[in-house]
Amino acid sequence: MLSNIRIVLVQTFHPGNIGASARAMKTMGLSQLTLVNPRCFPDEEATRLAAGAEDVVINASVTNAMADAVADCVQVIGASARLRNLPLPHFDEPDRMAEDTITVARSEPVALVFGRERFGLTNDELRHCTHQVSIPANPDYGILNLAQAVQVLCYELFRAQQRTQQTHTHQALPRQTPLPSQEQLAHFYEHLHRVMKDVGFLTQPHARTEEHLHALFARAQPSRKELSILRGFLSAVEKKAQDTNP
């Protein structure tokens, strides 16, 4: 299960934080690290602060865009402060996030995404997420170092896996309705945008209609079969519109 969980660090500024995050991951049994546009990598500081987890650093994948880092994942959880203006499903407690993630990761790849040291993830990057998670902390000073945040959430994942093994639920059957990957969802959203624009539904550019629809589908978590049905419906609407307006 843990092998299906990917830690994604977006535009990490200090290479030492990459090494410290790798160390935090390895202590909790995680090894899949992806870096999105790191400022400086490879770097001796990253290797030095890995302190025994050099293999995680050496084997890290590097991409130029977050979309590429999570394209094959069926669930993408952004670690950030809760943003009310972005209505994604939100885990207020990390342990609940971990339980849900371990369940999905039995059979499908999942990503846990961390943003920059100074200001975290942008709204555009959070739109590639299916969920958000926050770490409860002192309201007067709730600032965690990047590697500390990685450690806390990886610990919760490790503990959730242990609980699963202790109750033997790891023997449960795989999901009967596999979830779509982020790449498949991206194609669906592009199709949805095109149809809504063609039929004149998107008439108020500031209404944030598409953001709310993205959040709706994130909460619903349609299966691949259901997504295929939705795309078939959109294709039928598209064809009807073209026949009506040749």
Could you tell me the residue ranges of all domains in the chain?
A: 2-171, 182-244
Task: Indicate the pLDDT class of residue 49, thresholds 50, 70 and 90.
Answer: very high
Task: Indicate the pLDDT class of residue 1, thresholds 50, 70 and 90.
Answer: confident
Beta bridge partner(s), residue 111: 6, 76
User: Across all residues in the chain, what is the average pLDDT?
Assistant: 89
Do 7 and 19 form a contact (C-beta atoms < 8 A)?
Answer: no
Q: Spelled out in words, what is the top-level CATH class assigned to the domain 182-244?
A: mainly alpha
| Topology classification of domain 2-171 | Alpha/beta knot (3.40.1280)
Task: Indicate the pLDDT class of residue 3, thresholds 50, 70 and 90.
Answer: very high
pLDDT of residue 111: 98
51 three-class SS: coil
* Cα separation, 94 vs 156, whole angstroms: 7
* Residue whose token pair is 């409860």: 136
Do 68 and 43 form a contact (C-beta atoms < 8 A)?
Answer: no
* Cα separation, 186 vs 72, whole angstroms: 11
pLDDT, one tens digit per residue, over 58-113 is 999 999 999 999 999 999 999 987 665 667 888 989 999 999 999 999 989 999 99
* Mean pLDDT computed over 117-136: 90
* Cα separation, 197 vs 221, whole angstroms: 24
pLDDT, one tens digit per residue, over 20-44 is 999 999 999 999 999 999 999 999 9
Supply the pTM of this predicted model.
Answer: 0.83
Do 158 and 3 form a contact (C-beta atoms < 8 A)?
Answer: no
Task: Indicate the pLDDT class of residue 228, thresholds 50, 70 and 90.
Answer: very high
- Reported in sequence order, the residue ranges of 41-109 that DSSP labels E, i.e. its strands, are 61-63, 75-79, 90-91
Do 153 and 97 form a contact (C-beta atoms < 8 A)?
Answer: yes
- Reported in sequence order, the residue ranges of the chain that DSSP labels E, i.e. its strands, are 5-10, 32-36, 61-63, 75-79, 90-91, 110-114, 131-133
Task: Indicate the pLDDT class of residue 210, thresholds 50, 70 and 90.
Answer: confident
* Mean pLDDT computed over 116-136: 90
pLDDT, one tens digit per residue, over 168-197 is 544 544 555 788 998 999 999 999 999 998
* Residue whose token pair is 């990957």: 181
pLDDT of residue 76: 96
Burial class (CB in 10 A: 0-12, 13-18, 19+), 176: exposed
For residue 95, give Cα distances in angstroms to 3, 27, 154, 220: 19, 18, 10, 21
